[in-house]
């Protein structure tokens, strides 16, 4: 019970948010893979991981949609010959790099086999997108 008290929260975080495997967690925390697998099953870490991935995916979709709305409103003002609000233009220019990342994310999702019929990305797909598109390294990477 003492190990659970000491390592449980960290193990759960590594599995859910860092998308580490049971073996990676086991090696990092110096615990048996069976212990980690039991904790994972007992508290349904898979569902927590799916929710975490889903929330990240929804965030990317929200950014993309928000950027499109700003772009559309600026486009309408230009067509009407109206002055473009500097605040909207500022937000749009700040969103451009993020929109490019979202596009790269979509391309990577397609490359990894993500289809419109699937509801969420697999943890492996998320890890690929984080590393290849967003340039994020997991904490256990030494690169």
What residues does each domain of the chain span?
A: 2-43, 47-133
Mean pLDDT along residues 33-57: 87
> Can you give the pLDDT at residue 85?
84
> Can you give the pLDDT at residue 137?
66
pLDDT(120) > 70: no
pLDDT(143) > 50: no
> Can you give the pLDDT at residue 105?
65
- pLDDT, tens only, 60-96: 777 777 878 888 888 898 899 998 888 888 887 887 7
Percent of the chain predicted with pLDDT > 70: 69
Higher pLDDT, 56 or 138: 56
pLDDT(12) > 80: yes
Q: b or e along 64-93 (b: 16 or more beta carbons within 10 Å of the residue's beta carbon)?
A: beebeebeeebeeeeeeeeeeeeeeeeebe
> Can you give the pLDDT at residue 50?
84
């Amino acid at each position: 019970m003492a190990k659970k008290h000491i390592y449980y929260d960290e193990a759960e975080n590594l599995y859910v948010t860092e998308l580490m495997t049971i073996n990676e967690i086991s090696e990092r925390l110096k615990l048996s893979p069976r212990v980690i697998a039991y904790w994972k099953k007992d508290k349904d870490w898979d569902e927590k991981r799916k929710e975490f991935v889903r929330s990240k995916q929804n965030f990317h979709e929200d950014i993309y949609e928000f950027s499109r709305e700003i772009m559309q409103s600026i486009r309408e003002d230009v067509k009407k010959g109206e002055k473009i609000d500097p605040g909207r233009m500022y937000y749009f220019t700040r969103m451009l790099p993020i929109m490019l990342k979202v596009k790269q994310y979509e391309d990577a999702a397609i490359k990894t086999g993500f289809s419109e019929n699937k509801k969420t990305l697999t943890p492996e797909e998320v890890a690929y997108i984080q590393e290849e598109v967003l340039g994020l390294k997991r904490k256990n990477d030494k690169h």
